[in-house]
């Protein structure tokens, strides 16, 4: 047998290459988005923790961290759909925790400002009462 016996038409070669590319793309697209989703969700959990959510929204942070743990396990088990779903849920929980933490901080700051205004009004009233009337 010679090389001439195994000639493949250019169209058949193109079809084989196209099929191989489609198969490789299909297989890789299942893993890549799940990995990316888990990484984005991990960053969201880290951001929420940095915002103080562990102290100010502990239930949401606990839920986000647990779902991240399960998403990482699903990723290791190559269950990419479950990993993606859990990562999305963890990201939502982390964003909720961060929002609650930010809201609690803003409320605390507003309360502090209101208290400062109250004290200043009292001091102003006291100063006005002690000032000689003309």
Q: What is the 3-state secondary structure (H, E, C) of 27-84?
A: HHHHHHHHHHHHHHHHHHHHHHHHCCHHHHCHHHHHHHHHHHHHHHHHHHCCCHHHHH
Q: What is the pLDDT of residues 35-63, one digit of tens each?
A: 999 999 999 999 999 999 999 999 999 99
pTM (predicted TM-score) = 0.67
Q: What is the pLDDT of residues 112-124, one digit of tens each?
A: 999 999 999 999 9
Report in angstroms the alpha-carbon separations of 125 from 25, 95, 119, 132.
75, 45, 10, 13
Cα(131)–Cα(128) distance, rounded to whole angstroms? 5
């Amino acid at each position: 047998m010679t090389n001439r016996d195994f000639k493949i038409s250019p169209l058949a070669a193109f079809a084989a290459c196209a099929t191989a590319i489609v198969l490789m793309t299909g297989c890789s697209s299942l893993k890549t988005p799940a990995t990316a989703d888990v990484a984005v969700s991990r960053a969201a959990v880290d951001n929420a923790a940095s915002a103080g959510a562990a102290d100010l929204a502990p239930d949401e942070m606990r839920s986000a961290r647990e779902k991240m743990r399960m998403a990482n396990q699903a990723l290791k088990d190559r269950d990419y759909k479950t990993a993606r779903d859990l990562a999305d849920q963890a990201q939502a929980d982390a964003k909720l925790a961060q929002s609650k933490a930010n809201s609690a901080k803003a409320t605390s700051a507003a309360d502090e400002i209101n208290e400062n205004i109250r004290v200043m009004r009292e001091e102003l009233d006291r100063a006005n009462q002690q000032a000689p009337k003309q």
